[in-house]
Chain A
Amino acid sequence: MLSYSRSSLMIANLLLLLGALFVLVTAVGLLRLPDLLMRMHAATKAGTLGAGLCLVAVAVAMPEPSVVARALATLIFLLLTAPIAAHVIAHAAYHAGEAQLWEHTEVDDLADDLAESEARTMPVSR
């Protein structure tokens, strides 16, 4: 085990604390928010940011090529796939009727668009 510089270790510790705090905020939002789509809003953004900050801390604490490459590859993969996964879940849940909107929600643009498109097209008999 090599000895790395103290300043980079301090920066890495700060990033680790920030990432852990963001993940904790994500967990609290996942518990407290009233609606599936709001919970996904907390989960997919703050969760990705927390895990990503922890990975950047690894890259800062150990500046070797192999470690930095692995940490940054994981980070880039997370940043690329989190929106796709969130969109897939939200789409599936909404169309399966599992996304019960909060009772104080006032605007549901997707429902209006779906009603309009159904009124415009021929009714398909299944």
Chain B
Amino acid sequence: MSFPLVPLIGLTLLVAAMGLILVRLIRGPTVSDRVVALDVLSAVAIGLIATYTVAAGTTALLDAALVIALVSFVGTVAFGHFVERRSVHR
């Protein structure tokens, strides 16, 4: 199948953003930096799913977008509690 041009440009931009976020995920000096990068990575995944939905005309992946949003929020809150609990050694 051939994609229309405008969603293809959008997909390219989103994948470039994903690459930059992966650089921060590898280089981030602290755990909190990596958690923030993961949070943005889930937002990029939602954008990719939305772009594919519009371009291909299939609604099969929209539930996956909702699940990614839910899991990302729960994981972020869990990481926050973990970072805070790890700092009790003061």
Q: Which residues of A contact B (CB under 8 A)?
A: 1-2, 9, 12-13, 16-17, 19-21, 23-24, 26-28, 30-31, 36, 39-40, 43-44, 47-48, 50-51, 54-55, 57-58, 61-62, 66-67, 70-71, 73-74, 77-78, 81, 84-85, 88-89, 91-93, 95-99
Residues of B with C-beta under 8 A to A88: 76-77, 80-81
Give CA–CA (A83, B65) in the complex, Å.
Answer: 19
Number of interface residues of B (CB under 8 A): 53
Residues of B with C-beta under 8 A to A24: 13-14, 16-17, 20
Is the pair A58, B54 in contact by a Cβ cutoff of 8 Å? yes
Residues of A with C-beta under 8 A to B81: 88, 92
Residues of A with C-beta under 8 A to B77: 84-85, 88
Interface centre among A13, A62, A71, A92 (most CB of B within 10 A): A92
Give CA–CA (A50, B48) in the complex, Å.
Answer: 11
Give CA–CA (A97, B84) in the complex, Å.
Answer: 10
Whose C-beta in chain B lies nearest to the C-beta of A12? Answer: B54
Is the pair A43, B40 in contact by a Cβ cutoff of 8 Å? yes
Give the A-B contact count at a CB cut-off of 8 A. 182
Name the distance in Å between B84's Cβ and chain A's nearest Cβ.
Answer: 4
Q: Are A77 and B59 CB-contacts (below 8 A) given A23-B43, A36-B30?
A: no
Residues of B with C-beta under 8 A to A51: 43-44, 46-47, 50
Residues of B with C-beta under 8 A to A12: 54
Q: Are A95 and B87 CB-contacts (below 8 A) given A16-B51, A36-B30?
A: yes
Residues of A with C-beta under 8 A to B87: 92, 95-97
Is the pair A19, B83 in contact by a Cβ cutoff of 8 Å? no
4 closest Cβ contacts across the A-B interface?
A: A96-B87, A54-B50, A88-B80, A27-B17
Whose C-beta in chain B lies nearest to the C-beta of A40? Answer: B36
Chain B 54-90, CB-CB to A under 8 Å as 1, else 0, gives 1001110011011001101100110111011011000
Whose C-beta in chain B lies nearest to the C-beta of A22? Answer: B47
